[in-house]
Amino acid sequence: MYEPTERSEPSAPSVRIINLSVGNAYKIFGNQMSPWARLVDWLSEKYSVLFVISAGNITSDLEVGVRRDTFPTLTSEERRDETLKALLANSSTRRIMSPAESINALTVGAMHADSSAPLIPASRFDLFADAMVSPVSRIGHGYGRSVKPDILMPGGRLLHSVDLISPPATTVLGIVTTAAAPGHLVARPPGTGGSLAETEHCRGTSNATALASRAGAKAYEVIENLREQGGDLPSEFDAVLLKAMLVHGASWGDLSDSLLKQAPSFDHIEHPSVRETKKRDLVSRWLGYGPVDENRVLSCADNRATLLGIGSVGKDQAVEFSAPMPPGLTGVVAWRRMTVTLAWISPTSPAHRKYRKAKLWIDPPKNFETARKNSNNYYTVQRGTVQHEVWEGEQKALAFVDGDVFVCKVNCMEDAAGLTGDVKFALCVSLEVAVDSGISIYQEIKERIAPAVRVTPR
């Protein structure tokens, strides 16, 4: 694809995203990197390409702690709660499969979600009436307890049926395999004498990964549009920029509360900060950085502005990304959110325990008066090759003058031995205020952004 042979030129040198919706069910990730994942990491760094990989599916029966004759009488909320309890109790059996542990790739888990509206027979059950992690989606963590899967995308809804010959004290649920809805409607190869227009419904992390790759293609169109408008975005940064943009639209939302409500209690942990860390660690294992809202990736709004930055940084160096503060926030007590996503592709050292050669991290802005909310622990987000954090606040008015800037500092240090040269990175920063605040944050920043957002080596 990227190098010539004796007989031909490279076949696809412009490809920026490679979809890998496959996995090795016989190589479940423990704590050692698989050869396949190491290869993906090496190829990612050598050719500056983003691999988008499925977390893998788990299709074994699910045992729920409710009597078999009682389960059909439960409400949809009760079924959801009992299912979550069962899934949480079996977390250790649901680990991601090779090569999803790749540190440079973007690993995708599946949400139990699609847009179909089928009539569901009485003998079959949709275990999650509301959006939730798909019962077939495998979960993290990744290497060194990094965040994996990175993001969640819709994987299609699936139905379950009760195993009527299992012991009656509990309910054993099996996945209903069918080409009928619900699920994603997709094309399929025609049977003998069939039509080329044949379709079927399917579900799983492969679907979610395909949708993530599609979102990446749409994000690439945004990058191309920015180039046409004069944006200085060299193509060698495309892979890291696409990686940052896809993760930038992710958030936990209400899913974290739903998981923690059914999880084992953390009340026995006395120290508040340790207790909070354990909670976030559990949510991170299931949700990664969360489901992706494509609108937040591909567009801005009057109350939300997103800025993109790219650069390179060497060992023991730092780069500052700065942009103007919106004057509408001066002296106003208003809800505001800052979302920052840093992504890079690290060279690796397969023989070294730490494996990842380059550790990058963000020093968040100090003058926005916000606090980390409903997102991963600060130390967890620094273990992979993506740092994605959300800060919110509304209790204190900001004091600054028009022309002041906020600064995000990107730092680099050697992790595994042998880091040489510069590491490419991409940074996405979104500032957002409440819709009813009356503050046109997008327009205020746009008017003050010229000549350009600056990246200054330090």
Measured between alpha carbons, how far is 347 from 418 in angstroms, rounded to an integer? 9
**pLDDT by residue (tens digit) across 137-196?**
999 999 999 999 999 999 999 999 999 999 999 999 999 999 999 999 999 988 877 788
DSSP H/E element including 79? helix 76-89
User: At a CB cut-off of 8 Å and minimum separation 6, what does 62 contact?
Assistant: 83, 86, 87, 90, 135, 160, 172, 173, 174
3-state secondary structure of 381: helix
DSSP H/E element including 180? none
**pLDDT by residue (tens digit) across 200-228?**
999 999 999 999 999 999 999 999 999 99
Tokens 């508040």, residue? 272
The tokens of 364 are what? 């968040």
Measured between alpha carbons, how far is 21 from 109 in angstroms, rounded to an integer? 11
**pLDDT by residue (tens digit) across 363-375?**
777 767 778 888 8
**pLDDT by residue (tens digit) across 128-147?**
988 899 999 999 999 999 99
3-state secondary structure of 252: coil
**pLDDT by residue (tens digit) across 412-444?**
999 999 999 999 999 999 999 988 888 999 999
DSSP character for 423?
A: E
The rounded percent of the chain whose pLDDT value lies above 70 is 97
Tokens 């802005």, residue? 365
Residues in the chain: 458
User: At a CB cut-off of 8 Å and minimum separation 6, what does 101 contact?
Assistant: 29, 33, 34, 37, 107, 142, 143, 148
Measured between alpha carbons, how far is 33 from 144 in angstroms, rounded to an integer? 10
Measured between alpha carbons, how far is 101 from 143 in angstroms, rounded to an integer? 6
The tokens of 286 are what? 């299931």
pLDDT at 395 over 70: no
